[in-house]
Amino acid sequence: MKVALVHDWLTGLRGGERVLEQLCLLYPEADIFTLVHVPGSSGPIIGRHRITASFLDRLPKAQYRNYLPLFPAAIESLDLRGYQLVVSTSHAVAKGCRPEKGATHVSYIHTPMRYVWDQFDAYFGPGRAGVVTRLAAHAVAPYLRSWDVRSTARAQGLVANSRFVEGRIRRFWNRETDAVVYPPVDTGRFVPAAEGPDDYALIVSALVPYKRIELAVRAFSQLKRPLWIAGDGPELPRLRALAGDSVRFLGSVAGESLPGLYARARFFVLPGEEDFGIAPVEAQAAGRPVLALGRGGALETVIDGETGAFFAEPTVESLIEGVAAIDRLQADPARIRAHAERFDVRRFGPELRNAIDRIRALLRP
């Protein structure tokens, strides 16, 4: 059976690419199709596969997010003739690819496209984008929403990455999912520190608008408490301008340095609403509690009062109340790590394979 894997873009090695890695291990002979490919950016497991990129790959790659109106046409242009099974991993448009008639298409959904649904203002609201960009975004958003709903018909099966995303699929696409399979987390990389934690709170995140990193920057600057932020992205200049002396920006941190960074943190901070959130699970695998906004995937990965604490509203004041709550938490690193192991990478492949096989079996005449 000839298998194609379709992914939104290959420009780094983040949570979505970790899912693609596992698909590469499940289907070692599969070919990969994507909108944009930066060679060498997504690690050796993905890199050893044959990778075909869309016409967007011929445009300046540093600006690929600005090509959003072209994403539907680009994903539809990928030539998937001859593939009997297509598995897409989608947080933007990958699920809208066009498999050959008679092929089975199963899509692993990280989220319906945030940019055009409930996070539209986070990306294109006042202060987030220039006037021309905002006007253009408002002009194309209705088309993109319509395409996003219509193109779900091209996948016979949908697998959601969390119960929260399952609900978003139902709300935005008016469609039920076939399974929920939590993303893979390599908990074996992380161990609790032998000694007590340092004083800093930690964020590990791409610095993009919907992550709401500014809430933590403002809160910890006001509290004058140490906050270390590992990650890079378009929000960095704005966040630096907001930050007080207690906030430290580490930039992109090498993967081998992350376990120690997690293990020595006093606690991890998740200030925005996540679809699942791999970094908070990694922090818990290192035995550290999580302070999270009490919405989204965090409600499925953090146990309030045991492995972390929630704050109720996406405001600086509420986050500061959450800091006080997590300061009172009697954290048990061994208990926290044991909880994180529920999401270990070892169960992901078998669970996803079973979901794909069930969907294929239902489609057989």
Q: What is the DSSP string of 166-213?
A: HHHHHHHH----SEE-PPPB-GGG----SS---S-EEEE----GGG-H
Q: Whole-number mean pLDDT of the chain?
A: 93
Output the pTM of the full model: 0.89
pLDDT tops 70 at residue 125: no
pLDDT tops 80 at residue 316: yes
Q: Which pLDDT band holds residue 123 (cuts at 50, 70, 90)?
A: low
Question: Phi and psi (nearest 5°) for 86?
Answer: -120, 125
Give the separation between CA 19 and CA 102, rounded to whole angstroms. Answer: 25
Q: Which pLDDT band holds residue 139 (cuts at 50, 70, 90)?
A: confident
pLDDT computed for residue 19 by the predictor: 95
pLDDT computed for residue 67 by the predictor: 83
Q: Are residues 226 and 124 located together in one domain of the fold?
A: no
Q: Are residues 71 and 151 located together in one domain of the fold?
A: yes
The fraction of the chain above a pLDDT of 70, given in percent, is 95
Mean pLDDT of 135-151: 86
Q: Are residues 214 and 275 located together in one domain of the fold?
A: yes
Helices (H), the chain: 15-26, 43-47, 71-76, 120-124, 131-150, 163-173, 213-223, 236-242, 258-264, 278-285, 298-301, 316-328, 333-340, 348-363
pLDDT computed for residue 126 by the predictor: 57
pLDDT tops 60 at residue 356: yes
Local structure of 288: helix, strand or coil: coil
Mean pLDDT of 24-48: 96
Q: Are residues 351 and 264 located together in one domain of the fold?
A: no
Q: Are residues 113 and 11 located together in one domain of the fold?
A: yes
The fraction of the chain above a pLDDT of 90, given in percent, is 83
Mean pLDDT of 137-164: 92
Q: Are residues 46 and 60 located together in one domain of the fold?
A: yes
Mean pLDDT of 304-333: 97
Q: Are residues 245 and 271 located together in one domain of the fold?
A: yes
**Tally of CB atoms within 10 A around 45:** 17
pLDDT tops 90 at residue 109: yes
pLDDT computed for residue 61 by the predictor: 76
What is the CATH number for 292? 3.40.50.2000
| Cα Rg, the chain, nearest whole Å | 20
Mean pLDDT of 292-314: 97
Q: Are residues 155 and 225 located together in one domain of the fold?
A: no
- The contacts of residue 121 (CB under 8 Å, 6+ apart) are 128
Containing structural domain, residue 201:
187-343
Q: Are residues 116 and 207 located together in one domain of the fold?
A: no
pLDDT tops 90 at residue 355: yes
**Residue-wise pLDDT tens digits, 171-190:** 999 999 999 999 999 999 99
Q: Are residues 135 and 277 located together in one domain of the fold?
A: no
**Tally of CB atoms within 10 A around 289:** 27
Q: Are residues 81 and 230 located together in one domain of the fold?
A: no
Q: Strand 3-7 relative to strand 31-34: parallel, antiparallel, unpaired?
A: parallel
**Residue-wise pLDDT tens digits, 195-248:** 889 999 999 998 988 899 999 999 999 999 999 999 998 899 999 999 999 999
Total of domains in the chain: 2
Q: Are 93 and 113 in contact (CB under 8 A)?
A: yes
Local structure of 88: helix, strand or coil: strand
Q: Are residues 180 and 163 located together in one domain of the fold?
A: yes
Give the separation between CA 316 and CA 214, rounded to whole angstroms. Answer: 9
Give the separation between CA 166 and CA 339, rounded to whole angstroms. Answer: 22
User: Which burial class, exposed, middle or buried, applies to 134 when counting CB atoms under 10 A from its CB (0-12, 13-18, 19+)?
Assistant: middle
